[in-house]
């Protein structure tokens, strides 16, 4: 062997996730390499933007595990300040914003999904940001603020929506949530303006201020056709430029558009007609309770008495408390729908609850109607919303029992941190004794190592 192969010291002692691809990296990281080198792509089952972003790092740093995972890891890091901004926008509380960011950083799935070269990091980050800017617009005073100022957050929301859809079609699910939020707010503003114009007890000055709704409303709708239709379509088409380079020079003609359209048909047919079985597949109703983690990797040659394994699953302290809180918000929100309230006294607390429920359902509910093979990592886009649901429940409790809410907040953070450390080896591939893995394997056939 020494006569046949030189530089033996460069050969890894064993293949592992440190020096090789694992799970769907064999598709997505490969596609990133193909985009970086203008080659025909093997994997076309998802939109290209996430893999294009991988290709930038590959082109800069070479085809190495670090480079093909770097773009997704950066997005994972950016999710922490992103959810901080979203929580602060919702609750106007830095304390709850920090709490939300801590819970996301301690979630095992967030850690695992953002350090593997698959595409889930990209749409989830962009979806957080598109909801952040939509909620920013919804909290603005439409009648008093200048039209230009109200259009800015809508434009940014549409921009991030385009990035999300161009990364993975789950961005379309989030787009439905954006539409529900926008039109519910827009209709409410219209009803307010109508009620004020009819109310004889309202001052003429205030009636004049609200009379601008017709003009500003029409311009806003027309602008949204650009922000949420034209711009996302343009971003989506531009994301296919690296895909088209493999065909040669790119020209704006029907042939180019036909190639993009054919890629969409292929993508849709793949997901629609996929018939497959997988030992770690799980239906949508099992995800919130972490019934079946998804197994990504196991070391081929573990040392005696040790294990190295990577699974994606949620931190029980985050997911189980989040499940309780999102259900509580849904029950409370359903009750509030049947309570008669004056339209001008539309409660801010009610709005926040409905926004969280809308965001969660837009990420989770569509999977109820998906009959193809599904996995627990499809719940990833819902995780920020269950965290926000925890924060909302703590905020509501704090109005009546501040000390108890603070104690619960500290307790959840502490338990989440302890469990993150406990489950870290199985979320990261870090080699530990099998007795450690046995200790966190709480249920039969739950963890694999």
* Per-residue pLDDT, 45: 93
Tell me the two tokens of residue 44. Answer: 């076309």
pLDDT band at 395 (very low <50, low <70, confident <90, very high): very high
Strands 306-307, 432-433: parallel, antiparallel or unpaired by DSSP? antiparallel
Q: Is the pLDDT of residue 323 over 90?
A: yes
Q: Is the pLDDT of residue 130 over 90?
A: yes
* Per-residue pLDDT, 349: 65
Burial class (CB in 10 A: 0-12, 13-18, 19+), 217: middle
pLDDT band at 187 (very low <50, low <70, confident <90, very high): very high
* Per-residue pLDDT, 1: 61
Q: Is the pLDDT of residue 362 over 70?
A: yes
Q: Is the pLDDT of residue 177 over 60?
A: yes
Helix (H, G, I), strand (E, B) or coil at 312: strand
pLDDT band at 4 (very low <50, low <70, confident <90, very high): confident
CB atoms within 10 A of CB 435: 10
pLDDT band at 339 (very low <50, low <70, confident <90, very high): low
Q: Is the pLDDT of residue 48 over 90?
A: yes
CB-based contact 338:133 (threshold 8 Å): no
Helix (H, G, I), strand (E, B) or coil at 221: helix
Number of alpha helices (DSSP H) and beta strands (DSSP E) in the chain:
18, 4
For the chain, the average pLDDT equals 91
d(Cα 55, Cα 31) in Å, to the nearest integer?
8
pLDDT digits (tens, 9 = 90+) for 200-220: 777 776 677 777 888 899 999
Q: Is the pLDDT of residue 343 over 60?
A: no
Q: Is the pLDDT of residue 279 over 50?
A: yes
pLDDT digits (tens, 9 = 90+) for 305-314: 899 999 999 9
* Per-residue pLDDT, 192: 84
109-123, 231-245, 264-278, 411-425: least confident range:
264-278
């Amino acid at each position: 062997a020494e006569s046949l192969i030189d530089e033996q010291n460069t050969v890894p002692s064993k293949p592992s996730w440190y020096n090789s691809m694992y799970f769907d990296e064999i598709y997505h990281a490969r596609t990133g390499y193909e985009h970086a080198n203008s080659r025909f792509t093997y994997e076309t089952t998802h939109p290209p933007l996430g893999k294009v972003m991988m290709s930038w790092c590959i082109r800069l740093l070479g085809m190495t595990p670090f480079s093909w995972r770097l773009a997704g890891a950066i997005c994972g890091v950016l999710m922490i300040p992103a959810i901080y901004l979203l929580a602060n926008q919702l609750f106007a509380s830095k304390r709850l914003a920090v709490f939300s960011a801590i819970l996301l950083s301690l979630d095992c799935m967030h850690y695992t999904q953002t350090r593997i070269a698959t595409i889930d990091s990209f749409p989830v980050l962009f979806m957080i940001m598109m909801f952040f800017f939509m909620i920013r617009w919804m909290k603005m005073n439409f009648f008093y603020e200048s039209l230009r100022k109200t259009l800015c957050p809508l434009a940014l929301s549409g921009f991030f929506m385009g990035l999300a859809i161009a990364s993975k079609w789950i961005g379309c699910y989030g787009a439905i949530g954006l539409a529900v939020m926008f039109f519910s707010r827009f209709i409410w503003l219209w009803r307010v303006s109508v009620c004020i114009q009819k109310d004889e007890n309202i001052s003429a000055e205030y009636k004049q201020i609200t009379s601008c709704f017709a003009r500003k409303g029409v311009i806003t709708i027309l602008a949204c056709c650009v922000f949420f239709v034209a711009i996302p379509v343009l971003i989506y088409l531009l994301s296919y430029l690296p895909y088209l380079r493999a065909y040669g020079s790119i020209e704006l003609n029907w042939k180019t558009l036909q190639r993009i359209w054919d890629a969409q048909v292929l993508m849709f047919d793949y997901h629609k007609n996929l018939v497959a079985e997988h030992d770690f597949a799980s239906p949508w109703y099992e995800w919130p309770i972490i019934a079946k983690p998804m197994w990504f990797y196991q070391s081929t040659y573990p040392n005696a008495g040790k294990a190295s394994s990577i699974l994606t699953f949620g931190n029980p302290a985050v997911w189980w408390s989040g499940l309780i809180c999102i259900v509580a918000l849904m029950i409370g929100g359903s009750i509030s729908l049947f309570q008669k309230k004056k339209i001008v006294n539309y409660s801010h607390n009610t709005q926040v609850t409905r926004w969280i429920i809308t965001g969660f359902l837009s990420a989770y509910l569509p999977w109820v109607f998906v009959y193809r093979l599904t996995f627990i990592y499809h719940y990833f886009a819902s995780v920020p919303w269950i965290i926000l649901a925890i924060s909302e429940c703590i905020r509501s409790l704090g109005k009546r029992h501040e000390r108890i809410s603070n104690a619960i907040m500290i307790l959840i953070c502490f338990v989440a941190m302890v469990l993150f450390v406990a489950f870290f080896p199985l979320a990261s591939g870090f080699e530990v004794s099998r007795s450690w893995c046995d200790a966190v394997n709480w249920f039969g056939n739950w963890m694999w190592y």
